[in-house]
Amino acid sequence: MKIWLLTHSEELKKTTGTGKLIKQSLGNDCEIIEWSRVAQNNSVATLPLDKTLLIYLCENEKQKYTSESSLTIENIVIIDGTWQQARKMYNQSPYLKRFKHYEIVGLTSVYSKRRNQKNIGLCTAEVAIHLLSKYKHPATSTLQSAFYEFNQ
């Protein structure tokens, strides 16, 4: 399983961003892609629809991933930015709307480096930890430990 972090350029400048923890923990199983408003990223845009999951709010039930979905998850795309940035990135990237969407609900963030814009929001590393745990990825504990240390 590979994680694709579609990252807002401002997020790359922040020392409080957790995307780098994911990359360090997963190595080649993670790609950080800087999002562009004017050009789609072909590495992400051409990922196979039947093997790719986008972590984003799901407004269209047909796009929603459920355990009954017949996907074999090989790629997970996480939009990495603030809630406002993520919404803008999603709305300005039509290619993202093609993927099945998975929405993480019922978890509370413990991230302390920045104030969350939404009470229900998780930081990028927490999203990755949840997904790695769900799919029993061997790097789950490595990322959990790195996040714990970073979040102190």
23-39: average pLDDT: 96
pLDDT band at 115 (very low <50, low <70, confident <90, very high): low
Angle, CA 26 vertex, CA 21 and CA 27 arms, to 5°: 100
The candidate with the shortest Cα–Cα distance to 82, out of 31, 143, 124, is 124
3-11: average pLDDT: 97
Angle, CA 12 vertex, CA 101 and CA 16 arms, to 5°: 90
- Say what the pTM is: 0.91
pLDDT, one tens digit per residue, over 90-112 is 999 999 999 999 988 888 888 88
Q: What is the pLDDT, as a whole number, of residue 131? A: 94
pLDDT, one tens digit per residue, over 58-84 is 777 777 786 656 678 999 999 999 889
Structural domain boundaries in the chain: 2-150
- Mean pLDDT score across all residues of the chain: 90
Q: How far apart are alpha carbons 138 and 77 in whole angstroms?
A: 19
Q: What is the pLDDT, as a whole number, of residue 96? A: 95
